[in-house]
A and B are shown apart, each in its own frame.
Chain A
Amino acid sequence: MRVMSFIGVLGLKGAIGLKTKNKELSPVHELLEKKYNGGFLNRREKIIPIILFFMAAVSVLTTLGIVLTLIFETFTFFGDVSIVEFFTATEWYPFSKTEAVYGIWPLVLGTLKITLIASLFAVPLGLAVALYLSEYAGARTRKIMKPILEVLAGVPTIVYGFFALTFVTPFLRGLFPSIELFNAISPGIVVGIMIIPTIVSLSEDALSSVPEPVRHGALAIGSTKWETASKVIFPAALSGILASIVLGISRAIGETMIVSIAAGSTPSAALNLTSSLQTMTSYIVQVTTGDAGFGTTIYYSIYAVGFTLFVFTLAMNVLAQFISKRFREEY
């Protein structure tokens, strides 16, 4: 509070031109001087918003840039490869010199496998943690868990990838020897770990924004905490919780490093989870790590894949916004 008023006072002094150190000019004097300099002041007042507007426009240009880039280069790609093949072929064999096949399905399936495992892992765990923190935990537990979740959220995905490859995979292979070195389960679980903080923090926000009196109303007629949480608070917070899950899933779809490191690079239309696979993201990484020359079909294929990926994540983000707007509870 004191800091605030301190800064505030400094700011006010600045605004009226009161120099704390240099007391030669009286504030009134300086104010008058400014009035006389009105021309410059006026011009500045007009130019600054324009500059700021162009800064804000950068975000719009970025979106535009992304969309246009993806569209143009994808078009170029479809000059070489038929769009029908792209959507209907069930094989992705870009590196074959003679008979390259570009059917996106194996990459989409790879992404879906990872996302499914990640959600199966992260949704129950994340909701359990969110419910524990908002309905059961005392202030101390919450104080301990908050930084833990923040650290989990801040760990770079390259680190999670390393963890998946060097710890989770060997661990799983110890339990189930049939799992191959590259598989869907280990990166799936680790992607799940990565999205837990998203799910927990957004769900917890939704749960704790249900007003306390509503909780008291349930407890006062003899509900247990679980009944209060599951039958009153959870349904009331449902839109926020669903949105958090959808956002988590969107992040899982776009996750790149964990799958590039631990899932392998074999586009596969098989449904099994224990062998090497490729996702949309890890295909882009594979191509850009190697040296597929600029202008080749393979080069353009990453844009077509990127575009598909972009559509998936955009759809999820829009869905999340729709859920939280459309079903927002008014308390």
Chain B
Amino acid sequence: MENVERIKSEEMINRIDSRLTKNKVVKGLFFTATLFTSIILIVLLYRIIVQGAPYLSWDFLQNFASRRPEQAGIKAAVVGTIWMMAVVVPTAAIFGVGSAIYLEEYAGKNALTRWIQMNISNLAGVPSVVFGLLGLTIFVRLFGFGNSILAAGFTMSLLVLPVIIVASQEAIRAVPNELKEASYGLGATKWQTISRVVIPYAVPGIATGSILAFSRAIGETAPLIVVGIPTFVAFLPSGVFDSFTALPMQIYNWTSRPQEEFHNLAAAGIIVLLVVLIMMNSVAVWIRNRYQSR
């Protein structure tokens, strides 16, 4: 009996080599997949830089759109994006953080809260083009904002709202209870505790999440198209009710043209867009690393 057992175990030992070979092969495949994924990003960035960099110039940043590629620039698009973000940032931040405070600090653990929470997570999964349809119906038509900065800004705010709410909720939840208790212990009211203890402590987390959400708003194209933002704009807006164009719209316009020169312009526009996004993300990462230790 025992001999049989030992033999069984010898057989097992003899199989180890082939099992290890299998492990090595699989590991190699997985490593290749990982490498391949990184190479995709490198190729993507490399292609865009090679194509667009020669077109980057002061003129490119200073000129309006033009039918002649050599004179075309992205001034209106950059300024338009800045205008739009001037609407998105305060709107989305106030409503996002406000919602998060309500849900984390005030809302009871009841069906209504769970329902709101479920709403938010489902909203995060709604395609951006559908948000465009909402903006078109409500802001452009119903409220009569037309294809203005305000209409686009509000649409984008709704789009990024769930992201900001969830990030802020996490940040608020991470505030140690002892801090809050200490504050209450000193006789502070609820709102005093929230505004002077909870929020200051949660700000880095809120900021990180919000910056990432805002960079999404800067790069989104589909809702702008659906809302009806024009692509060919040769003036600068002077208020939130003005019509405007934005960076991704300009890139889209150039990409959809058949001529190679316009594709190069699109690449140059993409470089500008990516530089902005990378700067924003670096700030987010910097904040995260700086406050991560706690």
List chain A positions with a Cβ less than 8 A from chain B: 1, 3-4, 7-8, 10-12, 14-16, 31, 41, 44-45, 48-49, 51-53, 55-60, 62-63, 65-66, 69-70, 73, 124-125, 128-129, 131-133, 136-137, 141, 144-145, 147-152, 154-163, 165-167, 193, 196, 200, 222, 224-227, 247, 250, 253-257, 260-261, 281, 284-285, 288-289, 294, 302-303, 306, 309-310, 313-314, 316-318, 321
Q: Which residues of B contact A73 (CB under 8 A)?
A: 137
- Sample (28) of A-B pairs whose CB atoms are under 8 Å apart: A8-B201, A11-B179, A15-B196, A16-B188, A52-B101, A53-B102, A56-B98, A59-B161, A66-B126, A66-B131, A66-B133, A132-B33, A148-B41, A158-B255, A159-B219, A162-B251, A163-B47, A193-B40, A222-B12, A253-B127, A254-B127, A254-B128, A260-B222, A284-B226, A288-B225, A303-B133, A317-B122, A321-B121
Please pick, from B183, B189, B226, the residue contacting A45 in the complex, using a CB distance under 8 A: B189
Dominant SS among interface residues on chain B: helix
B187 to chain A, nearest CB (A): 6
B 80-117 contacts with A by CB, 8 A:
94-95, 98-99, 101-103, 106-107, 115-116
- The reply on B242 being an interface residue by CB < 8 A is no
- The reply on B72 being an interface residue by CB < 8 A is no
A3 and B293: CB pair below 8 A? yes
Q: Which residues of A contact B281 (CB under 8 A)?
A: 150-151, 154
B107 and A11: CB pair below 8 A? no
- The reply on B279 being an interface residue by CB < 8 A is no
- The reply on B57 being an interface residue by CB < 8 A is no
- The reply on B67 being an interface residue by CB < 8 A is no
- The reply on B37 being an interface residue by CB < 8 A is yes
17 additional A-B pairs beyond A52-B101, A59-B99, beta carbons within 8 Å, are A53-B102, A55-B102, A59-B120, A60-B119, A70-B130, A128-B30, A149-B37, A157-B222, A159-B274, A162-B266, A226-B26, A227-B23, A257-B252, A261-B255, A281-B129, A309-B127, A318-B122
B119 and A52: CB pair below 8 A? no
5 closest A-B pairs by CB: A254-B127, A156-B219, A55-B98, A14-B196, A128-B33
B207 to chain A, nearest CB (A): 13
Q: From B281, which residue of chain A is reached at the shortest CB distance?
A: A154
Name the residue among A4, A11, A257, A302 with the largest chain B CB count within 10 angstroms: A11
A256 and B188: CB pair below 8 A? no
A159 and B41: CB pair below 8 A? no
List chain B positions with a Cβ less than 8 A from chain A: 12, 16, 19-20, 22-23, 26-27, 29-31, 33-34, 36-38, 40-41, 43-44, 47-48, 51, 94-95, 98-99, 101-103, 106-107, 115-116, 119-123, 125-134, 136-138, 141, 158, 161-162, 165, 176, 179, 182-183, 186-193, 196-198, 200-201, 212, 215-216, 218-222, 225-228, 248, 251-252, 255-256, 263, 266-267, 270, 273-274, 277, 281, 285, 290-291, 293-294
A45 and B30: CB pair below 8 A? no
A49 and B102: CB pair below 8 A? yes
Q: Which residues of B contact A151 (CB under 8 A)?
A: 41, 281
Q: Which residues of B contact A69 (CB under 8 A)?
A: 133-134, 137-138
Question: Known: A69-B138, A225-B23, A314-B125. Contact between A156 and B220, CB under 8 A?
Answer: yes
A125 and B36: CB pair below 8 A? yes
Q: Which residues of B contact A288 (CB under 8 A)?
A: 132, 136, 225-228
Q: From A150, which residue of chain B is reached at the shortest CB distance?
A: B281
A145 and B38: CB pair below 8 A? yes
A12 and B294: CB pair below 8 A? no
Name the residue among A45, A132, A255 with the largest chain B CB count within 10 angstroms: A132
Question: Known: A31-B187, A56-B102, A59-B120. Contact between A156 and B273, CB under 8 A?
Answer: yes
A16 and B221: CB pair below 8 A? no
Please pick, from A12, A56, A167, the residue contacting B116 in the complex, using a CB distance under 8 A: A56
A88 to chain B, nearest CB (A): 24
Question: Known: A158-B219, A225-B27, A256-B127. Contact between A65 and B134, CB under 8 A?
Answer: yes
Q: Give Cα A310–Cα B130 distance, bound, in whole angstroms.
A: 7
Q: Which residues of B contact A60 (CB under 8 A)?
A: 115-116, 119
